[in-house]
């Protein structure tokens, strides 16, 4: 696949604080790329440099192999983490305002349809709910019919229902073969939407690959958990006591289960868990995502 956007040794500091430290990344055309990391990891700074909003202190950004220029703005769609909309005007008027900014804006009906805005067209921007607002901001982002869409934590603060609705919108945009760069706090979101993820922590890129490859690389087999009774010595797998649970990381699930039965351990409350991105995240950054 062709690389659409590439960052080389991208750095940005605010005063003494080095927010982003020599980050390299390459995003292939047509994929949904997830940028994950705990709060303060440098995700927003990174995405805003890639958007051309922030100027990096060092490094370069290439769009289709060339450094980004003024024309870049016409080819990208951006949804910021927090944006106020002009007050006292309606959703439809706001769409019209932003459509006027671009030489070839997307059709109004199409925007309304993709982002499910028909019910709120006449609503004042100030009176939108969290979910409605994000839908509206997404519509603004796709007005230029962008080649690449940047979404900075678009579902943070939404209720589970609104979040799922928003994922459906992102899937529609994905189906148009547009490249999406998404930052998120939610691993299930990344798992569901992203073809490739990068995990950042303290301004540094920790890992970058497809979710499947990353899980394969960092975890073997399955995680077995049973309520802890006595320190069972198991030959297979790697066991440790976490809270009141005995956790066994094993490559040979069959042997482990066999051993547990032989050791006469009460299996009530047994769970077998396939490691997911959340586990990977905690393993790599050492902190819980939502902390």
CB atoms within 10 A of CB 39: 11
Residue 80 in the binding site for other proteins (CB under 8 A):
yes
Q: How far is CA 66 from CA 45, 126, 228, in A?
A: 21, 40, 58
Residue 82 in the binding site for other proteins (CB under 8 A):
yes
Residue 67 in the binding site for other proteins (CB under 8 A):
no
108 vs 192 by CB, closer to other proteins: 108
> In the stretch 9-48, what mask flags binding to other proteins with x, by CB under 8 A?
----------------------------------------
Minimal distance, residue 259 CB to other proteins, in Å: 57
Among 8, 73, 172, 228, binds other proteins (CB under 8 A): 73
Q: How far separated are the first and last CA of the chain, in Å rounded? A: 36
Minimal distance, residue 26 CB to other proteins, in Å: 23
Burial grade of 212 (CB within 10 A; 0-12, 13-18, 19 or more): exposed
Residue 98 in the binding site for other proteins (CB under 8 A):
yes
8 vs 74 by CB, closer to other proteins: 74
Minimal distance, residue 261 CB to other proteins, in Å: 59
Residue 140 in the binding site for other proteins (CB under 8 A):
yes
Q: What are phi and psi of 190, to 5 degrees?
A: -65, -40
Among 84, 231, 264, 291, binds other proteins (CB under 8 A): 84
With contacts defined by CB under 8 A, name the span among 17-25, 85-93, 229-237, 272-280 that binds other proteins: 85-93
With a CB cutoff of 8 Å and minimum separation 6, the contacts of 81 are 44, 152, 153, 156
Residue 108 in the binding site for other proteins (CB under 8 A):
no
Burial grade of 100 (CB within 10 A; 0-12, 13-18, 19 or more): exposed
By three-state DSSP, how is residue 286 classified?
coil
Helix (H) or strand (E) holding 119: none
**Gap between the Cα atoms of 120 and 111, Å rounded:** 13
Q: How far is CA 192 from CA 101, 115, 167, in A?
A: 33, 19, 9
Minimal distance, residue 203 CB to other proteins, in Å: 20
Residue 88 in the binding site for other proteins (CB under 8 A):
yes
With contacts defined by CB under 8 A, name the span among 22-30, 80-88, 187-195, 269-277 that binds other proteins: 80-88
With contacts defined by CB under 8 A, name the span among 1-9, 32-40, 70-78, 221-229 that binds other proteins: 70-78
With a CB cutoff of 8 Å and minimum separation 6, the contacts of 57 are 11, 12, 13
66 vs 258 by CB, closer to other proteins: 66
Residue 63 in the binding site for other proteins (CB under 8 A):
no
b/e sequence 47-59, b meaning 16+ C-beta within 10 Å: bbbbbbebebeeb
Helix (H) or strand (E) holding 74: helix 72-75
51 vs 259 by CB, closer to other proteins: 51
Which residues of this chain interact with other proteins, rule CB under 8 A?
51, 53, 70, 73-74, 76, 78, 80, 82-89, 93-94, 96-98, 100-103, 140, 144
């Amino acid at each position: 696949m062709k690389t659409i956007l590439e960052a080389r040794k991208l750095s940005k500091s605010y005063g003494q604080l080095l927010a982003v430290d020599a980050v390299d990344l390459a995003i292939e055309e047509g994929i949904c790329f997830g940028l994950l990391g705990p709060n303060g990891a440098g995700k927003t700074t990174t995405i805003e440099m890639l958007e051309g909003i922030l100027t990096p202190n060092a490094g370069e950004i290439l769009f289709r192999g060339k450094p980004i220029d003024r024309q870049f703005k016409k080819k990208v769609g951006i949804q910021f983490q927090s944006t106020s909309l002009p007050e006292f005007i309606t959703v439809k008027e706001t769409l019209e305002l932003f459509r006027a900014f671009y030489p070839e804006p997307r059709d109004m009906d199409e925007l309304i349809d993709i982002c499910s805005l028909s019910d709120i067209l006449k609503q004042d921007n100030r009176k939108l709910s969290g979910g409605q607002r994000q839908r509206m901001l997404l519509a603004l982002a796709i007005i230029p019919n962008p080649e690449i869409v940047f979404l900075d934590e678009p579902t943070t603060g939404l209720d589970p229902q609104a979040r799922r609705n928003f994922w459906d919108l992102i899937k529609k945009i994905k189906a148009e073969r547009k490249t999406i760069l998404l930052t998120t706090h939610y691993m299930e979101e990344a798992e569901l939407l992203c073809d490739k993820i990068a995990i950042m922590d303290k301004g540094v890129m920790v890992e970058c690959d497809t979710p499947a490859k990353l899980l394969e690389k960092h975890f073997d087999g399955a995680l077995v958990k049973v309520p802890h009774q006595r320190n069972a010595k198991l030959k297979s797998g790697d066991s440790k006591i976490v809270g009141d649970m005995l956790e066994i990381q094993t490559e040979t699930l069959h042997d482990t289960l066999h051993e547990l039965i032989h050791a006469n351990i009460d299996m009530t409350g047994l769970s077998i868990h396939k490691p997911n991105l959340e586990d990977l995240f905690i393993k790599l950054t050492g902190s819980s995502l939502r902390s």
